[in-house]
Structure 1
Amino acid sequence: MTIRHHRAVGALAAASALALTLTACGSGSDGGDAPAEEVSAEDVAAALEEGGDLLVWAWEPTLDKVVEEFEAEYPNVNVEMANVGTGNDHYVALQNAISAGSGVPDVTQMEYYALPQFSIGESLADLSAFGAGDLESTYSPGPWGAVTDGDAVYGLPMDSGPMALFYNQKTFEKAGVEVPATWDEFVDAAKKIHAYDPNTYITSDNGDAGFTTSMIWQAGGHPFEVDGTDVTVNLADEGSAKFAEMWQQMIDDDLVAKVPGWSDEWFQSLGNGEIAALVTGAWMPANLESGAAPASGDWRVAPMPQWTEGANETAENGGSALSITESSEKKALAYGFLEYANAGDGVATRLAGGNFPATLADLTDEKFLAEESEYFGGQKINEVLSASATGVVEGWQYLPYQVYANSVFPDTGGQAYTGSTPLKDALGAWQESIVTYGNEQGFTVSE
């Protein structure tokens, strides 16, 4: 299984390739057969029967099998899969193709945090004309909220990342630590684990924008509010402040391993128990199985620690959708592929390959919930992860230039992890950078 994660990128690369979001508006609006009115299911079926070529840009490995089965069912369709890079590399290539007006794929994978940057630039087709809005009840609220803007639908969810606590039971038991149910208990557990062994930490974080925003999300924060091109940024709101105060204590008391995520050292520490827990998305099990194999049987999954004892409030971390580009000349055919992959038979294929579903039917399926994981000591981990999906706090919004914002986090918010800047002030520096950039790109950004 290919490891899936968000990659840190340099601000310069993000700025050069993903800037000028507003000036790019309409770049694909004159291309293709963009539907001005509803396109019926019969029209989509006819397009699938007639066939044609589709270019799909994606890095998700389970899609290869989906394409194979899709082409077998619709033999007149030829799907060309291209992996132009993961994360930011993918978005740079896509923006370059859109700007050039050449080589743009019909279908593109879009992580939820990145989708607004392309939808506001009118680079993605609104799928509501195809009746995509009728699929709302198919998906869990978090992913559905990430692909919609009012009545507009800019993609169909492919997977989801409701957050949970992944922990090394062996290390916890050696340190005499109970599984924390609240964040206060998490801090106490962190102290006990580090006291048990100075080389062992409850978790790691060297400044990750995705983790930070997900934690603020769970804490009830709404630091980004977007209404068209009007943006409000407040990284000192109640949820942001609540997270910053708690996590500052973790930093001050040296309770967080400052090991770069997804590095060899990180996986080694996960495998030998020196990093004893992660609070992350439901897509993590396959990554632990492949990257921290020596710890097989030691790890377990528990609900995400809560700010209020007994609550079930979670957030999303990661996950992606498939979208149709506005410049595609084969939108009906492309929508047929999206429906198959993300709402039809392709879903089961991807789940068999290790994906965590965004589809409610699968999240509540008894067979799925009853699956026992050998890596997690025979635990039925899907029961915990599916319960997390039902608790995702509603109302979260990403910036319409979140890709850029995340890229500059290491030089702003990330400075809290060097010990030179309190996290509260570091978030303020991140806010300043976000506001300045947004106004330079033509948004109206207020604080």
Structure 2
Amino acid sequence: MASYHGNLLYYFLCLLFFVCVSNGQSSFKPKGIILPVIKDSSTLQYVTQINQRTPFVPVKLSIHLGGQTLWVDCEQGYVSSTYRSAICGSPECKIAKPNICENCTDNPPRPGCNLNACFNTPENPFINTLYSGGEIAVDALSIQSTDGVNPGPVLKVPNFIFTCVPSFLAEGLASGVKGTAGLGRNDIALPSQLARVFGFPRKFAICLSSSTSSRGVVILGDGPYIMMPNIDISKNLIYTPLLINKVGTGYVPYLNEPSSEYFIGVKAINISGKAVPINKKLLAIDKNGFGGTKISTGKPYTVMQTSIYNAVSKAFAEALANVPKVPPVAPFGTCYSSKRIGSTVVGPAVPSIDLILQTQRVLWRIFGANSMVQVNKDVICLGIVDGGASPMTSIVIGGHQIEDNLLQFDIPNSRLGFSSSLLFSQTTCANFNFTSRA
């Protein structure tokens, strides 16, 4: 009887969302989905690849951690027999919560331009640009499953909801990349949509490789998160609340809805155990959505409001006073001779930077591998950038600072689990097993 009711619920969801699993094994239920991620050496974007359309076409996408949707350039060569525009009032349109419904009158209709279609506002965080005319659509998607340890069967989602955009929005993306894969907390971003399709928890983990030649991974679904040689990262995560910014951030603050991005409650910053004197008001999110700390793959390095940046840079230099500075190399302001800095198992031998979270005992410690950037063979710099006097978000933790750290985003429970540097465990984010049974 329980099996009957489970199947009934499954088919009800299929009818409601027009998304059913098809892989030749209708009873197969994956524990999670994996997306391999490679760091682009030119743009420093984190790039994955999916198969989309009918027949399937490989599509490269840049990871947008707080992104609201998976969007794709439909203007250049989008051909698919299963593409379907989301009609106003349809289940897909209601899930996507569109900005507007309208008619696009090109004759004949084409992907991105149809009658009675609903539209949302996708953004490209790499060029600080948004587009209010993104057509919400559905098409086939093919993705790799996992049990947390090994790769599993490739699965097909016949009607995955995404956003179809013109080519100009793809400017600034890495070479060959046609869109972004949004991992934000809203309903049509990948974590929520795939959880709804496959029935696994609305959680995901991101583990980015620091190498441009080795793959990191996004795991959609729950743990365990096993890295070779058989190290279960999920057993040693530290947890802190994810905060909801009630005002839209990124480049869509006017949509009158909460931000889809991921904020954490940094209370203070310590360097080598000593508190950095900063304006604590900047660490809180005010009623207009300004302030606070978010995690973003839209920035390659951590960006700080000017007064915080100046205080952190000064405290770091004082803690490393035995090593003379060298002229800065843009975009960084605090740089040293590589020859004067030693090495450790967790990177360059420099002072640790602690982000103090809900209490002094809960902290995210940033070691040299994540705090320092080798800009050339002779110079190494503190990988933090001045974000100006009045940014919307006071601290944006960028890609470099989360490489070789595993971060688990638990959306229903608004909780972040983080590992700190995996180098301590003698593994890296490149050590997920993509190829064979362990």
The structure showing larger relative contact order (alpha-carbon pairs under 8 Å, at least 6 residues apart) is 1
TM range (shorter): under 0.3
Greater fraction strand: 2
Report the TM-score, using the length of structure 2 for normalisation.
0.27
Report the TM-score, using the length of structure 1 for normalisation.
0.27
